[in-house]
């Protein structure tokens, strides 16, 4: 059964730019009302104005720090002034890249707080109302490295593995109440977050709009796990079925094991600076 999104209230974190902004635009075009959350209140307001395209009341912007429970709770309380929340898209995330031995403790804490605790906090805050109404959908944006770990991104990969496992568990917990949980796993996306990062062998960077299209499709027809692009799931599954020695050989031959090690530090400098704030 396909869900009609017309009039539904959709809340999206990290929606001031990139995947979140593209997703907000897709939901607005589908007739939903959207609440855009971003760490920068001015960015959130501008994003809401952009996706509204002159249509009053279809998008609102509000500040949120997903790593701060009180901030996330206040953000959702603001959203509830517009009505019950039908869909929560936990999209906010950061990707500092570093060898673990060189990764600052503060950056590790921030990555886990934003990428893992933020997802758990947001989900915990919205599901009681969804369970009571026996309807609702939580969509978590993870990453292909949530299924395949890469050197140079150990902490980021750990955080996305956690999101995948958490979503699978929530899928099982919420299903008896008619509430859905889904996880979306993009490969490299052409956004600031992936600045300076090369492509996986045989894969082109996907666009924020492609990820947004998948999130919208999942909201309309819920399923547990979706990759972007879709064929990447088959590739990832096949690689994970190989013996470890074969996977290592394949990584060396294709240089796929270097994609998060051999990055352009200069191209990433601005993103890394902003992510560290």
Q: Which residue has the higher pLDDT, 200 or 208?
A: 208
pLDDT of residue 267: 67
pLDDT over 70 (residue 269): no
Residue 222: what pLDDT?
Answer: 97
Which range has the worst mean pLDDT, 136-150, 190-204, 243-257? 190-204
Q: Which of 91-100, 158-167, 244-253 has the lowest mean pLDDT?
A: 244-253
Band (240; pLDDT cuts 50, 70, 90)? confident
- Angle, helices 41-52 vs 18-29, to 10°: value is 30
Rounded to whole angstroms, the Cα distance separating 150 from 155 reads 10
Q: How far apart are CA 140 and CA 52, in angstroms?
A: 23
The model's confidence at residue 233, banded by pLDDT at 50, 70 and 90, is confident
pLDDT-derived band at 156 (thresholds 50, 70, 90) equals very high
Query: In this predicted structure, what is the pLDDT of residue 241?
Result: 81
pLDDT digits (tens, 9 = 90+) for 115-125: 999 999 999 99
List of E strands, 31-187: 33-38, 59-63, 87-90, 137-141, 180-186
Confidence check: pLDDT of 88 > 90? yes
Using an 8 Å Cβ cutoff, are 182 and 175 in contact? Answer: no
Q: CA 71, CA 94: separation in Å to the nearest integer?
A: 18
Residue 196's pLDDT band, with cuts at 50, 70 and 90, is: low
In the annotation, is 171 catalytic? no
| pLDDT, tens digit (0-9, with 9 covering 90-100), for 30-68 | 999 999 999 988 999 999 999 998 776 699 999 999 999
228-237 burial, b at 16+ Cβ within 10 Å, e below that, comes to beeebbebbe
183-206: b or e for each residue (b if 16 or more CB lie within 10 Å)? bbbbbbbbbebbbebbebeebebb
pLDDT at position 184: 98
pLDDT computed for residue 216 by the predictor: 98
The per-residue pLDDT for 274 is 67
Q: What percent of the chain has pLDDT over 70?
A: 90
Mean pLDDT of the chain: 90
Q: How far apart are CA 70 and CA 198, in angstroms?
A: 37
Domains and CATH numbers, the chain: 9-275 (3.40.50.720)
**Annotated catalytic residue: which of 72, 156, 171, 271?**
156
- % the chain with pLDDT above 90: 69
26 pLDDT above the threshold of 80: yes
């Amino acid at each position: 059964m396909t869900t009609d999104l017309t009039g539904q209230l959709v809340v999206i974190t990290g929606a001031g730019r990139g995947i979140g902004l593209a997703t907000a635009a897709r939901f607005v075009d589908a007739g939903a009302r959207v609440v855009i959350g971003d760490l920068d209140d001015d960015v959130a307001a501008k994003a809401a104005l952009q996706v509204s395209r002159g249509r009053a009341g279809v998008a609102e912007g509000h500040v949120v720090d997903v790593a701060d429970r009180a901030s996330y709770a206040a953000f959702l309380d603001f959203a509830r002034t517009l009505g019950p929340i039908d869909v929560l898209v936990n999209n906010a995330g950061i990707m500092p890249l570093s060898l673990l031995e060189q990764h600052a403790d503060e950056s590790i804490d921030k990555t886990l707080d934003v990428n893992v605790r933020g997802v758990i906090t947001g989900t915990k805050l919205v599901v009681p109302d969804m369970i009571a109404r026996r309807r609702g959908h939580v969509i978590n944006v993870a990453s292909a490295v949530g299924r395949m770990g890469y050197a140079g991104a150990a902490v980021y990969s750990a955080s996305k593995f956690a999101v995948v496992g958490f979503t699978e568990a929530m899928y099982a917990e919420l299903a008896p109440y008619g509430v859905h949980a889904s996880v979306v796993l993009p490969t490299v996306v052409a956004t600031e977050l992936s600045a300076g990062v090369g492509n996986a062998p045989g894969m082109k960077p996907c666009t924020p709009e492609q990820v947004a299209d998948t999130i919208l499709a999942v909201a309309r027809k819920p399923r547990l796990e979706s990759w972007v692009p879709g064929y990447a799931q088959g590739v990832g599954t096949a690689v994970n079925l190989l013996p470890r020695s074969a996977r290592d050989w394949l990584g060396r031959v294709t240089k796929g094991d270097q994609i998060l090690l051999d990055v352009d530090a200069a191209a990433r400098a601005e993103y890394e600076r902003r992510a560290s704030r």
